[in-house]
Amino acid sequence: MTRLTNCILNKDPSCVPVWFMRQAGRYLPEFRKIRSKNKDFIKLCLNSNLSSTITLQPLKRFNLDAAIIFSDILMVPFALGQKVQFTKDKGPILSLFNLQYFLNNNVNNFIENLRPVYESIKTTRTNLDKEKSLISFVGAPWTLIVYMFGLKKNKNEIDLNKLKKSESEIKIVLNKINEYLCIHINKQIQAGADTVQIFDSWAGLIPDKKLFDYCYEPNSKIVDYCKKNKVPVICFPRGINKNYLDFAKVVKPDCLSLDYEIDPEWAIKKLSNYCLQGGLDPKILFKKEDIIFQEIDKYLNIFKGQPYIFNLGHGLLPETNPEVLKKVIERVNNFK
């Protein structure tokens, strides 16, 4: 058992594991070098050797407790036949969703389309220190649907009319996509991953009255599947604020990842039954060193005696200085 899985499953508060969302990526010059020669992001994710190399890059630089496989939540809609294009400054754009085409998918084709991801995990596990965890991940059904149906109006808003119009299709897709996500999790674990994180990145855009249908219940089905298969599972329902409490009660994940809008004092009072992860605003890492250390110490002291994984309340930003990150990791690892 690794430090990370021990913290999640055994709720061991004696050490604070540390890793970062988007730790393999744009802030590292060695990643940017690979990316400059590989313009097609999907193809890069499907290049097993390069994907594994990128996954391991931060582990070569920093004393982290886990690697997270270099991939993307949108590999699932891609494997189900939807075209996915990543454009600079605009984010991902998906081709028009076709329900009939989606329903005509079969499991074997889906697995075959994602085989390079599983190969990358195998290679990574072989080259990763046995004491380090290897995290696999999926996007939660709602977050995938936001992209698949093109529901976003802007960064902070979804098109409620479009949502209402697509409601009957969305219900069908929610159930079906859950099946494929569980298959994808199973294959990643078989390949050598030991932990799963579910990213519900757009949970905060769900109208309150729809939270159970679109967030709690779909996440709960995946968590149940993971628990049944004895796979440690972390949930990240970003942006739902104090609904984190209801989410935790319904979904019952092994670990809850906090976004940076969650007050850590509130979290320790209300969510102390759970292993907790993250919370620090990624932009703090752009401040002066004494302010950065002050914020880190605040989180470490609040969660002292609680099973806690140090992470951020969102992914590392491209402007992050790797040297600053190194000092952050040292600070966490030296915390008593």
- Asked if 22 is an active-site residue, the reply is yes
Contact criterion met (CB below 8 Å) for 264 and 298: yes
> Which residue is catalytic, options 3, 27, 65, 72?
72
Active site residue 216: no
> Residue 331 catalytic?
no
The answer to whether residue 26 is catalytic is yes
Q: Is 72 a catalytic residue?
A: yes
Q: Which of 147, 214, 274, 308 is catalytic?
A: 147
Only one residue has tokens 């058992």, namely 1
Catalytic residue among 3, 22, 125, 238: 22
For the annotated catalytic residues, the residue numbers are 22, 26, 35, 72, 147
